[in-house]
């Protein structure tokens, strides 16, 4: 299951594994090939959303065979009162003017949609040629913001998952697979 052969200590906290490293690599490659086809001749910039989207972005970028740039946007979500949706704070803006460029937002997971909505609005101000979204995971639930996902890695149920960039209290991002965090870890 793990081509690296590394026994990650925190794997004991995961049950079940939803997607192992080989399944992820295969799917990432498929998406990369699709993006390559769709963006030939265009001025593509991948906009990676920190921090959860970084591992996905770095793998995806290397499966895209046309020239493209990388940019990073930092975001952090917080709970507003007892509302489940909360707000989103931008912690890092892009480093260049993106006017006329073809932007592809790379996010770890489409959950409520708050993060993607706020960053999408921010990027529109640059007057890019286009903005599309690529999310590694799509949680099947009623999203607060309905957004068009041009590329989706995998659909999952509405449960808390970690690994391959996704964290719980800033840990688990380095796990090569994606899995459900055992409820006893956070309860
Ligand atoms: P949003 O609710 O769609 O704005 O998602 C905000 C952020 O919450 C995502 O970018 C993830 O970093 C994080 N998140 C949402 N669901 C999960 C999960 O199941 N595991 C880990 N992080 C999650
Ligand atoms: Mg997080």
pLDDT for residue 67: 98
Rounded Cα distance between 45 and 67, Å, is: 9
Query: Is the minimum distance from the CB of 156 to ligand 1 under 6 angstroms?
Result: no
Report the chain's mean pLDDT, rounded to a whole number: 93
Residue of 111, 144, 155, 159 with the most ligand 1 atoms within 8 Å of its CB, for mutation? 111
Query: Is the minimum distance from the CB of 77 to ligand 1 under 6 angstroms?
Result: yes
Dump pLDDT digits (tens) for 58-78. Answer: 999 999 999 999 999 999 887
- Using the Cα atoms of residue 31, residue 114, residue 87 and residue 161 in order, give the sign of their dihedral: negative
pLDDT for residue 62: 98
Domains in the chain, start-ordered, CATH in brackets? 21-159 (3.40.50.2020)
pLDDT of 167 strictly over 80 = yes
Q: Which residues are catalytic?
A: 111
- Rounding to the nearest 10 degrees, give the CA dihedral for residues 55, 60, 66, 72: -30
Using a cut of 0.85, tell me whether the model's pTM lies above it: yes
Q: How far is the CA of 10 from the centre of ligand 2 (A)?
A: 17
């Amino acid at each position: 299951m793990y081509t690296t052969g590394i026994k990650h200590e925190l794997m004991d906290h995961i049950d079940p594994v939803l997607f192992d490293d080989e399944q992820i690599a295969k799917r990432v490659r498929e998406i990369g090939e699709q993006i390559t086809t769709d963006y030939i001749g265009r001025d593509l910039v991948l906009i990676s959303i920190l921090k959860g989207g970084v591992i996905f972005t770095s793998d995806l970028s290397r499966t895209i065979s046309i020239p493209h740039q990388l940019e990073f946007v930092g975001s952090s979500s917080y709970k507003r009162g007892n509302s489940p949706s909360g707000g989103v704070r931008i912690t890092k803006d892009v480093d260049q003017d993106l006017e006329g460029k073809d932007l592809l937002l790379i996010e770890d997971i489409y959950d409520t949609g708050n993060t993607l909505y706020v960053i999408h609005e921010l990027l529109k101000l640059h007057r890019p040629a286009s903005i599309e979204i690529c999310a590694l995971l799509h949680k099947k639930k009623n999203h607060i913001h309905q957004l068009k996902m041009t590329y989706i890695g995998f659909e999952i149920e509405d449960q808390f998952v970690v690994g391959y960039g996704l964290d719980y209290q800033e840990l688990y991002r380095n796990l090569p697979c994606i899995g459900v965090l055992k409820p006893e870890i956070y309860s």
